[in-house]
Structure 1
Amino acid sequence: MEPNPVASREALELYLARAATFSNAIHSDTLDDDLRMVRDTGTLFLGRAAYEWNMDPDEEAHFDKAAALARRVHGIDPRIILQACVFEAVYPECERVSVPAWAFEALGMPVERRNFRFADMSSPQLRQAHSWGGRGVIPDIACPEARLWFIYRAFRYIDCGYEALHLGQVHLVAGRDPGYALWPYRAERDWV
């Protein structure tokens, strides 16, 4: 599928008219039936198709499943837009994941050889706001570590074949970022 950086309002309305939630389809026990429904209904936008709320024990297996789903969906119709999610929750298991050099480079940070640091993902204000069952925190986009996490997760899904991102409750993550100036990626359209 060729990237199209400027979508017309007509194209947007067509995709919205053919949109469906496909919540975490990478773990579906009925995926063949689900994909038949996608084909038979002419669905063009599949929301929430891949995400992790809690950390998958095997990070690479998660992204392998996400990529396999994208290949199957785009085999039905390459015009289908798949959405992945990077939500407003992060857990200590993020420390099992190495920060790739490209994530540092994307944010203009010096490259280090290390894993993500859970303790640096949030601020005291957000830790007190919600703890997701006592284990997780709301990542604070004002913290460089949280920006690394978001860019890492977003780029991994994009590399798997996902064209849209659901960023969860942005107002929580950006509580200390008035105007969303620190977000590592922003989309703007004059008609939206």
Structure 2
Amino acid sequence: MSAAREYGLDDQYEWPRPPEGGWTADDLDRLPNLPPHTELIDGSLVFMSPQLKFHTRTMWLLENALLSQIPGDLDVDREMTIRLDDKNRPEPDLLVYKVDADTGMEQSWYRPEDVVLAVEVVSADSRERDREVKPRKYAASGVPHYWRVEKNDGLPVVYVYELDPATRTYALTGIHHNRLKLTIPFAIDIDLTAINNRRG
């Protein structure tokens, strides 16, 4: 099957050709027929592969726990981009942001200064981006907290990072198996073994 057909497009479809200097953050909202969840990294379009059930269930678990436990001045969105600069609009799987950064239903991105936490659930095609590229960019842009979620024996393991504001790099503050219990950036307690307990 052709790449175009895989995305439900006609075989005659021509993929966008980057302009000199690469795409910009604004182009991401203007280009027609982009596959869902396209990111912009260093001026290049990055397309997402179909996700496994582990990825979906982990996002469901974390999103519901965050929504039920975060303070009232924060909110959670899934798969919204962060406009880090003119050449970078990565899309974390989940992000926690300041409520007053919500501009309405037509919003498609957040500023890094409005994001409190970015969460990436690692997939086979995103390992390098989620482990190296994106956290480096989030940290350089001042996003204070980052969680990287990996699969181990069918369960999520959460690697928790906090920003060192002096160096604009992340420091690992914990690796959480079975249970994620934190007081920073807010009090949260998540049973990571409940990944398949959708009605619990």
Q: TM-score, normalised by structure 1?
A: 0.27
The structure where helix makes up a greater share of residues is 1
Q: TM-score, normalised by structure 2?
A: 0.26
Q: Does 1 or 2 have the higher relative contact order (CA < 8 Å, sep 6+)? A: 1
More strand by share: 2
